[in-house]
Amino acid sequence: MSVPAFLLRRAGGLLLVLFVTSFIVFGLMYLAPGSPLSFVLGPRGGTPEQIAAVTAQYHLNDPFIVRYFAWLGDLFQGNLGDSIVYRQPVGDLIAGRVGTTVALIAFATVIIAIVGIGLGLIASLKGGWLDTVITTLSTLGLATPTFVIGVALISLFAVGTGWFPTNGSGGGGFDSIWHLTLPAIALAVASAAYLARITRASVLEEEGREHVQTAVARGLRSPLIIRRHVLRNALIPITTVMGLTVATLIAGAVVVESVFALDGLGSLLVRAILQRDFAVVQAVVLVLVVAFVVINAIVDFLYTLIDPRIQLGSKQ
């Protein structure tokens, strides 16, 4: 498949996913109990004129399908709506918080790649007690919930030692890195543990293949064999897991941002759900879905760089 055809296919898939996702999310929010009027006008309500104005502004008396397509039409025009809680455009809310989430996920991705692949290579190439220790640690990392890891990190390294701040995303530069270190570690632990196991298994599988054994029998140097024959083929499943891992970090960021009180998209989504801020929930979910689909498309494209025999759009 050519690159233009691949991009066109992915764009069509993205539009379909967005349509289905938006319909489901809109439907769930529509069926949720309670009324958003209470969050706009307060617990005491408002005057009949205020109620009528808010109802008309947010189409609260219109049928579901009318409200949905009205919102969808605004979406295609770049209008994500207005928050009924924050009283400002949803696009501005997202723009002010997306940087924190992107920085957190990027930081965690770097940790996952270095620690996960590094430990997996050590376990597979060194073996012995190192393999046992790394395998045990990876099992513990996979079994421990992210929020438990987050609370433990805060207790040990923020409250206990004072080395890191307990919350907030910092003021930029090194200060932001310092603030995001513990959240990024908490977000990365489970994924790094899983990647270490996959890397170990992939390398061991490649080491047992016939062409690798032939290279060993010919007396080729071990570093050359590992670099040219083992790692190249082992990178394909590793890349798959890395891509899926980065995509799942989007969901994990919701938990981590809540634990560490980060002002990102995850914490914004949680507050919007609790406050029934429909426009914010729908917009944030769509942004996260777009990010998920785009990341998977990038991973699909990377397959061809690792192994030219693989065609775009196929992982066979």
Q: Which class is 92-306 in CATH?
A: mainly alpha
- Strands (DSSP E) contained in the chain are none
- Domain-by-domain residue ranges, the chain? 3-76, 92-306
DSSP string, 104-140: HHHHHHHHIIIIIIHHHHHHHHH-HHHHHHHHHHHHH
pLDDT of residue 311: 54
Q: pLDDT of the chain along its 316 residues, tens only?
A: 566 776 787 778 778 888 888 888 888 877 776 666 666 666 666 677 777 777 776 677 778 888 888 888 888 888 887 887 788 888 889 988 898 999 999 999 999 999 998 898 888 888 788 889 999 999 999 898 888 999 999 999 888 888 888 777 777 777 888 889 999 999 999 999 999 998 888 888 777 776 667 766 776 666 666 766 677 777 777 877 887 787 788 888 888 998 888 888 888 998 888 887 878 888 888 888 888 878 777 777 776 666 655 555 554 4
pLDDT at residue 185, rounded to an integer: 94
Query: Burial of 98 by CB count in 10 Å (0-12 exposed, 13-18 middle, 19+ buried)?
Result: middle
Dihedral sign from CA coordinates of 173, 176, 182, 185: negative
Q: Which residue from 122, 120, 169, 112 is spatially nearest to 146, judged by alpha carbons? A: 112
pTM, entire model: 0.80
**Helix, strand, coil tally for the chain in percent (to 5):** 75, 0, 20
For position 306, what pLDDT does the model report? 63
**Among candidate residues 209, 196, 206, the one with its CA nearest the CA of residue 238:** 196
pLDDT in tens, 148-191: 999 999 999 888 888 888 777 777 777 888 889 999 999 999 99
**Residue range 28-38, pLDDT digits in tens:** 877 776 666 66
What's the rounded Cα separation, in Å, for the pair 10 and 12? 5
CA distances for 260 relative to 126, 273, 287, angstroms = 37, 19, 22
- DSSP annotation of 248 reads H
Check residue 158 and give its pLDDT: 85
